[in-house]
Structure 1
Amino acid sequence: MMEVQAILLALIQGFTEFLPISSSAHLILPSVLLGWRDQGMAFDVAVHLGSLLAVLYYFRREVAVMASSWWLSLSGGGHNAESRLAWCIILATIPACVVGLFLGDWISRYLRSGWVIAVATIVFGLLLWWADRMAGLQKNEYQTGWRGALWLGCAQALALIPGTSRSGITLTAGLMLGLTRQAAARFSFLMSIPIIFLAGSHQTKDLIGAEAVMSWSAVGVGVLVSFVSALACIHLFLALLNRIGVLPFVLYRLGLGAVLLWMLSAQA
């Protein structure tokens, strides 16, 4: 893979992983527009590792407090707000793991198409707009509760449908629960830590089993560029979310979905 391709694809992954605009919709654009080949499993692992490191670094203090409080709750130290939030994150991870385990291959085989991505980009963009219009915007992430965590986890499982956007659907579900935009976004980002780790571990296992030849320079570029771009994305998104709301992202999704449908129709 050429270095320019590696940089561009890592930028796309880093910027779109945490925005509610669907990273899968963007990652098919280079192949559709420029005819680029699939970047390979090693590169996928690299860019997801960069995204994971970015969210861990940004929320390092929150993660450290949550982890220590969770451990104390296991050892009989009682519960506090941080330990309960940690348990909610764990609970919210289970639905996507179950769906991925039993339906992951079927989804990859039958739903990973440009048409599905384009339609999902539009439909779930409209759902995000509706949820934001109807949202109570009163609760913080510590008020999620186990029922809310399970609801958010089921929403995250829907993100296995390409074009849905993991960030977008979990933000939508959080707004439906009455969370503020900031709280819904923070919970979504914290939820991404275990799910990206588990998905990356699964890909790494497959990569080792395949004994694939990899370009270490492309892997290094993927990790570094996706880390920097994802870190910038998280910071800017949280800083601007209350100011601009979700409408710009909804409009962007509608435009992107329409462009994808037009391109796919032209190729048919």
Structure 2
Amino acid sequence: MSLLEAIVLGLVQGLTEFLPISSTAHLRITPELFGWPDPGAAYSAIIQLGTVAAVLIYFRKDIVSLVKAFVVGLVKRDPFGTLEARLAWFVGVGTLPIGICGLAFKKLIETQFRSLYVIAGSLIVLAIVLFVVEKRASHQRTVADMTWRDGIIIGLWQALALVPGSSRSGTTLTGGLSLGLKREDAARYSFLLSIPATTLAGIFELKHLLEATERPSTLALVVGTLVAFLSGMAAIAWLLSFLKRRTTLVFVVYRIALGLLLLGLLQANILKPMSGVENLATPEAPAKPPVEKQITD
């Protein structure tokens, strides 16, 4: 992977991770348009650590407050006594569905699900769902009104993000809006909910990459992650400001347009649905020599 590829992919990751337009879809499509090989699910997960760092820094006060309330609640044997403590538990419980499904369907997610047909379909389907939810939602509740039921439901919505093209922020934002949350509150909770899942996914894939024989250079990983961090900070600030004043309709239109464009390019054979994916799902660790070879060595 060249330095230019790392910069472009890092920029794409940072700008699209927090917008409901699917960072995975853009990371899958961008290399196709430039004639680059698909960087793979592992690379995508690792540069997500840059956007995780962006969330940690941007919401550092909120995070410290949640962690402190969680610990104090356990010490005082009143784990759900405050709003902050409850939100911490909601984030933890809401992470379980995507963690369980991610491990159960890992191979499928890294291979067949990365088909451009799947991505195009996901872009369009979730756009329609988001449009319906946006029109019917009350937009009256805040995170202070959230219940255990809300935390679990939004967590289930997040699990749908394992299908490339659906968008983690898109599914959780849609889930929050469907429960009547205000747009900005739904987005804020979506950001906080993203931290455990994306952090664990990045660390898990980093371990596999370090054990692999073929992988992007360390420089490419560092540059991509740094660019993702900087652009991610800008994307968070912009989205929160945008949702205070506007609806999510612009994202609905964008998703449908991108999905239809993608289908058109596939039908015209300009893009191949699985090009570059077959050998890039999970980098293989170096094979161990036969027992006889180990003994003679």
Provide the C-alpha distance between the structure 2 equivalents of 1:41 and 1:91, rounded to a whole number of angstroms: 25
Say if 1:43 and 1:222, in contact at 8 Å, map to a contact too: no
Deviations along 1:177-230, one digit per CA (max 9) or x if unpaired, are 010001110110000000111111210221233254542221221121100000
Among 179, 182, 190, the alignment partner of 2:181 is 179
Superposition map of 1:99-178 within 5 A: 99-178=101-180
Provide the C-alpha distance between the structure 1 equivalents of 2:28 and 2:164, rounded to a whole number of angstroms: 10
Aligned to 2:118, the other structure's residue is in SS state helix
| Residue 201 (1) aligns with residue 189 (2) | no
Structure 1 residues 157 and 163 mapped into 2: Cα distance closer, same or farther (>3 Å)? same
Say if 1:125 and 1:254, in contact at 8 Å, map to a contact too: yes
2:23 maps to amino acid: S
Structure 1 residues 167 and 111 mapped into 2: Cα distance closer, same or farther (>3 Å)? same
What is the aligned-residue RMSD (CA, Å)?
1.6
**Corresponding residue number in structure 1 for 2:283:** none
Deviations along 1:70-99, one digit per CA (max 9) or x if unpaired, are 011111253211001100110100111111
Deviations along 1:134-161, one digit per CA (max 9) or x if unpaired, are 1111111122211111100110001101
Structure 1 residues 57 and 262 mapped into 2: Cα distance closer, same or farther (>3 Å)? same
| Higher Cα radius of gyration | 2
| Residue 71 (1) aligns with residue 88 (2) | no
Say if 2:45 and 2:198, in contact at 8 Å, map to a contact too: no
**Corresponding residue number in structure 1 for 2:49:** 49
1:236 maps to amino acid: W
**Corresponding residue number in structure 1 for 2:237:** 235
Say if 2:46 and 2:203, in contact at 8 Å, map to a contact too: no
Say if 1:50 and 1:226, in contact at 8 Å, map to a contact too: yes
2:237 maps to amino acid: H
Say if 1:19 and 1:237, in contact at 8 Å, map to a contact too: yes
Provide the C-alpha distance between the structure 1 equivalents of 2:246 and 2:230, rounded to a whole number of angstroms: 23
Equivalences, count: 268
Aligned to 2:108, the other structure's residue is in SS state helix
| Residue 244 (1) aligns with residue 243 (2) | no
Provide the C-alpha distance between the structure 1 equivalents of 2:40 and 2:253, rounded to a whole number of angstroms: 31
Q: Percent identity over the alignment? A: 43
Say if 1:18 and 1:230, in contact at 8 Å, map to a contact too: yes
